[in-house]
Structure 1
Amino acid sequence: MRVPMSQGDSSQSQQDHDADHLPEGDERYLLRNRRQIRGLLRQLRDQRAVVTMHVAGRDMAVPTAVLEVDEDDDCLILDGSHNDTSNRAIEDAKYLLCYAQLERVNVRFRLEKAQRIERDSHVAFRANLPDALYHMQRRESYRLETPITDSPVCTIRQEQAQGGDLSLQLRVTDISSGGLAVSLTAGMPLLEPQRTYRDCTLQLPGAAPIVLPLTVCSQHKQTLPNGSEGFRIGMQFSDLPRGADETIQRYIFRVDRQRNARKSGVF
């Protein structure tokens, strides 16, 4: 993707420059988890979001886009400008302040010393992943309520100390980048709070099964749609395997996009 760049880069709107500034001390919105940071940067890439990059020490704002998030090198690739003056300023800057939006929620991060490279015969910039990222979300954690007709399935397995194996295959009722929830109906064995079940499988529609550990972090009674009593179990992703976070984010983005399209009458 090439983002149009103009000679007047420094005349970006004040709204971009002041994009919902947040006090640095507000830890509620500060992410330091590398997996979560990579996930949000990939969403910027997948949604082709415009990233406004402010050059340190200069009154200059350059529109760009995330082209790649490299998990091997822990770096990201950003699009360059058609304006060589802007490219030189980016290359010489000690740091860059970046602002963007995901689903109308502001994202802000700082990049240290970007390296100029060539990508597909165009100027691009390589920078290390930010150490932290502000995601000024309205909710503490966005959780997707899964559609009944297109739900992930979670299989929870664990050898039992008293003999026999635990093997529960459950529909995932909601999912986020940090975990998932399932429902237990009457007669099913309860899961142990704070216990990590290490041999679990998450099957997302249209994707290969993900083998992962899941930790029980919440458990409470609920009334199911058929009127029976059950339990809602919240489970945290303890240690996602390589590439799994991107697969989960793609599923969330796809379902969200389809729902928004239905609401707007596209299909």
Structure 2
Amino acid sequence: MTKATTPEPKFELLQADDYSQYLLREPREIAFVLRQLAARRSMVTAHFGERNEFLLTTVIEVAADNKSLLVDLGREETIIANAMACGKLLCVTQIDKVKVQFPLERLERVTHEGFPALRAPLPDVLLRLQRREYYRLSAPAADTLSCQIPLANDRRITARVIDISGGGIAVLAPPDDTLLQPDMSFRNCQLVLPEFGAITATVHVRSLFRMTQRNGQDMLRAGCQFQDLSAPMAHAIQRYILRIEQDRASRNV
């Protein structure tokens, strides 16, 4: 690929503590994301060197054993030589407006179908950032997710979850339920994720509006933001979302 004048910007370092809950470390999960990039031929900006040089590339394929991947190198020999001399790339791209960043090291120049390519071991870590532009997953009908919201006097609401992201959930409540109001916060809410256990978090109601379902019944839709979500629980949500994505992708093959 040719060098461009406006590269995809790098964001926070992979080691940043603030983003630890967005890191994938399981090889199978990392390989799944990289295969998504390959299938979509997503443009990847690969940064390298102290002068912040970059080249534009794409992921060609991920090895069947999930141990290595191939990326395109384009034809600009000067840039290729500089990248190989550096020996490390920091790759940045997006999938469905979710930012993805991963390092590549131990670079090996190869030829793929007659064109320059680069082989590298599968990265040990991949950042799938959902902080500012959260990818929202529509809750699978089979899972029937619900959230237990504690109220005063030992009362609680059981609200059906209709979508979930790393940043929060959207729930449905009866239309006459006046206990959910914008800017209210509820502590110790519980959301059970199949295979991943219970998530306990504070939820803050950001929006509330009435909607009519297909059966004609009116419901309230509350958009809720997670507050003070622990890293293990945030990671469990990420893993749940990825598992659902993998299941849906396998059914579409």
Taking structure 1 as the reference length, what is the TM-score of the superposition?
0.58
Preserved contact between residue 45 and residue 93 of structure 2 (Cα < 8 Å): yes
Q: How does 1:133-212 map to 2 (within 5 A)?
A: 140-158=133-151, 160=152, 164-212=153-201
Identity level (%): 28
Matched residue, 1:233: 222
Matched residue, 2:24: 42
Matched residue, 2:7: 21
Give the distance between the partners of 1:58 and 1:143, measured in 2 at CA: 33
Shift in alpha-carbon separation, 1:125–1:165, aligned structure 2, 3 A:
closer
Give the distance between the partners of 2:241 and 2:147, measured in 1 at CA: 16
Which residues of structure 1 form unaligned runs of 5+? 1-12, 66-78, 80-84, 117-121
Listed one character per residue, the Cα deviations across residues 132-190 of structure 1 (whole Å, up to 9, x for unaligned) are x988x9xx4321111221132211013x2xxx223112221001111001101144443
Give the distance between the partners of 1:148 and 1:253, measured in 2 at CA: 16
Shift in alpha-carbon separation, 1:86–1:229, aligned structure 2, 3 A:
closer
Pick the aligned partner of 1:89 from 86, 89, 114.
86
Moved more, 250-259 or 168-177: 250-259
Give the distance between the partners of 1:190 and 1:106, measured in 2 at CA: 33
Matched residue, 1:70: none
Listed one character per residue, the Cα deviations across residues 83-140 of structure 1 (whole Å, up to 9, x for unaligned) are xx9787347xxxx64324435x5847699xx999xxxxx999999x99xx988x9xx4
Matched residue, 1:119: none
User: How far does residue 36 in structure 1 lie from its aligned partner after superposition?
Assistant: 7.8
Give the distance between the partners of 2:249 and 2:237, measured in 1 at CA: 18
User: How far does residue 255 in structure 1 lie from its aligned partner after superposition?
Assistant: 1.7
User: How far does residue 249 in structure 1 lie from its aligned partner after superposition?
Assistant: 1.2
Shift in alpha-carbon separation, 1:134–1:154, aligned structure 2, 3 A:
closer
For the aligned residues, what is the CA RMSD?
Answer: 4.6
Preserved contact between residue 186 and residue 203 of structure 2 (Cα < 8 Å): yes
User: How far does residue 217 in structure 1 lie from its aligned partner after superposition?
Assistant: 0.6
Which residues of structure 2 form unaligned runs of 5+? 38-43, 60-67, 69-81, 107-119
Give the distance between the partners of 1:19 and 1:176, measured in 2 at CA: 33
Shift in alpha-carbon separation, 1:61–1:224, aligned structure 2, 3 A:
closer
Give the distance between the partners of 2:102 and 2:184, measured in 1 at CA: 37
Preserved contact between residue 202 and residue 227 of structure 2 (Cα < 8 Å): yes
